[in-house]
Amino acid sequence: MINKLERSYGVPSWQPNHDPLGELIATILSQNTSDVNSDRAYAALRAAYPTWEAVLRADADEVAAVIRSGGLASLKTRRIQAILQTIQARYGRLDLDFLMDMPMAAARAFLAEFPGVGPKTVACVLLFACGHPALPVDTHVHRVTTRLGWLPRGCTAEQAHTVLESLIPPPKVYSAHVNLIRHGRGVCKARQPDCAHCLLRGFCPFPQQSAPEGSRQPASAASAKLFHAGNRSL
If residue 189 lies in a helix (H) or strand (E), which one and from where to where? Answer: none
Long-range contacts, stretch 89-96, CB < 8 angstroms, 24+ apart: 94/21, 94/51, 94/52, 94/53, 94/56, 95/19, 95/21, 96/19, 96/20, 96/21, 96/24, 96/125
Q: Which of 120, 172, 189, 225 is catalytic?
A: 120
Task: For residue 23, give every residue at least 6 positions away whose Cβ sits within 8 Å of its Cβ, in sequence order, or none.
Answer: 16, 17, 124, 125, 128, 129
Distances (CA, A) of 130 to 16, 21, 58, 73, 133: 8, 10, 28, 27, 9
* Side chain identity, residue 147: R
In sequence order, the 6+-apart residues with CB closer than 8 A to the CB of 55 are 45, 49, 63, 80, 81, 84
Note if 120 is an active site residue: yes
CA 97, CA 221: separation in Å to the nearest integer?
51
Which are the contacts of 7, defined by CB distance < 8 A and separation ≥ 6? Answer: none
List, by residue number, the catalytic residues.
120
